[in-house]
């Protein structure tokens, strides 16, 4: 694939992964999906967080519809599983991922965004699942991840009726955790990623890997898993140092928010 369709740039502890197919609204061809997987597998040890964004007017128009062809059931299954593997590398890799959203975040684009840990949306962002009207179904993990953000009822409505949510409603409902002015999503995502990269790596890892599993466990199992991961995290020398720094007045206090 043309290297340029996925740009990977290391800026200190933050790696920027940019979908760069603006003439096709960053539609996700199979090659682009595999390139995303590869980029996450190849992250250097110096990377503490990733920002993913899209070049041009839109974050991502979803599956590259020009690649849809007659697939038998087995081929269709493998195609969807390919997306799952790639987006699992995003969600369950080594470091947190912040998505900087603008314009269309639709279909597979919303599936990609929902695999990220934090979503920052600018005022131009809109969310939709046009799969329903294209006669297909989500296949990139959307039916697992999107209901966790906004609920099954909202996702069903989007697919059944073609409903589109704007940036303001999207933030209110839980598609994005941050809403910023037009053109500001990347800068905000970078600032968050830089902050995230200063956390103890084990804390970040626990938030990515333990928290979602705990949320899926029965309470009794969740409490136990929490105790295990808490004890591992606090036993790390870095955690002990950070606590000492606070107790001895070297670390910042929690500040009241504006």
Q: Which residues are catalytic?
A: 111, 131
Out of 62, 93, 96, 132, the residue judged to bind ligand 1HE by CB under 6 A: 62
User: How many Å apart are CA 7 and CA 112, to the nearest integer?
Assistant: 16
Q: Is residue 131 a contact residue for ligand 1HE (CB under 6 A)?
A: yes
User: How many Å apart are CA 51 and CA 116, to the nearest integer?
Assistant: 9
Question: Which positions from 182 through 221 interact with ligand 1HE, judged by CB under 6 A?
Answer: none
Out of 54, 96, 139, 170, the residue judged to bind ligand 1HE by CB under 6 A: 139
Closest residue to ligand 1HE, judged by C-beta, is: 107
User: How many Å apart are CA 71 and CA 69, to the nearest integer?
Assistant: 6
Out of 19, 61, 115, 180, the residue judged to bind ligand 1HE by CB under 6 A: 61
Out of 18, 58, 119, 145, the residue judged to bind ligand 1HE by CB under 6 A: 58
What is the contact mask toward ligand 1HE in residues 66 to 105, using x (rule: CB under 6 A)? x----------------x--------------------x-
Question: Which positions from 225 through 254 interact with ligand 1HE, judged by CB under 6 A?
Answer: none
Q: Provide the β-strand partners of residue 121.
A: 101, 179
Cα-based distances in Å from 138 to 75, 152, 203, 237: 15, 13, 32, 43
Residue pair 101/185 in contact by the 8 Å Cβ criterion: yes
**Helix residue ranges per DSSP H, the chain:** 30-41, 73-91, 108-114, 131-134, 142-150, 152-161, 167-173, 185-196, 201-209, 211-216, 219-235, 237-247
Q: Is residue 158 a contact residue for ligand 1HE (CB under 6 A)?
A: no
Least Å distance, CB 181 to ligand 1HE, is 21
Comparing CA positions, the residue from 104, 108, 19 lying closest to residue 65 is: 108
Q: Is residue 108 a contact residue for ligand 1HE (CB under 6 A)?
A: yes
Q: Which lies closer to ligand 1HE via its Cβ, residue 176 or residue 192?
A: 176
Q: Which lies closer to ligand 1HE via its Cβ, residue 15 or residue 122?
A: 122
- Number of shown-chain residues binding ligand 1HE (CB under 6 A): 23
Task: Select from 134-142, 162-170, 191-199, 248-256 the region that touches ligand 1HE (CB under 6 A).
Answer: 134-142
User: How many Å apart are CA 127 and CA 17, to the nearest integer?
Assistant: 21
The encoded tokens of residue 85 equal 């593997």
User: How many Å apart are CA 18 and CA 100, to the nearest integer?
Assistant: 10
- The residues binding ligand 1HE (CB under 6 A) are 24-25, 27, 57-58, 61-66, 83, 104, 106-108, 130-131, 134, 136, 138-140
């Amino acid at each position: 694939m043309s290297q340029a369709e996925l740009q990977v740039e290391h800026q200190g502890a933050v790696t920027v992964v940019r979908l760069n197919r603006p003439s096709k609204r960053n539609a996700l061809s199979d090659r682009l999906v595999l390139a995303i997987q590869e980029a996450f597998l190849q992250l250097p040890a110096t990377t503490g967080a990733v920002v993913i964004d899209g070049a041009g007017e839109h974050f991502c128009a979803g599956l590259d519809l020009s690649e849809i062809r007659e697939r038998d059931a087995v081929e269709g299954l493998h195609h969807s599983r390919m997306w799952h593997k790639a987006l699992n590398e995003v969600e369950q890799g080594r470091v947190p991922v912040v998505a900087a959203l603008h314009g269309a975040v639709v279909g597979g684009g919303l599936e990609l965004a929902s695999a990220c840990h934090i979503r920052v949306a600018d005022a131009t962002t809109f969310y939709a699942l046009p799969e329903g009207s294209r006669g297909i179904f989500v296949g990139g993990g959307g039916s697992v991840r999107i209901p966790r953000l906004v609920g099954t009822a909202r996702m069903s409505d989007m697919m059944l009726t073609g409903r589109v949510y704007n940036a303001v409603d999207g933030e209110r409902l839980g598609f994005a955790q941050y809403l910023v002015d037009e053109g500001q999503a990347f800068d905000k995502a970078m600032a968050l990623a830089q902050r995230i990269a200063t956390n103890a790596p084990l804390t970040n890892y626990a938030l990515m890997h333990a928290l979602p599993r705990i949320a899926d466990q029965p309470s009794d199992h969740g409490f136990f898993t929490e105790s295990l991961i808490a004890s591992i995290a606090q036993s790390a020398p870095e955690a002990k140092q950070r606590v000492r720094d606070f107790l001895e007045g070297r670390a910042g206090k929690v500040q009241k928010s504006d």
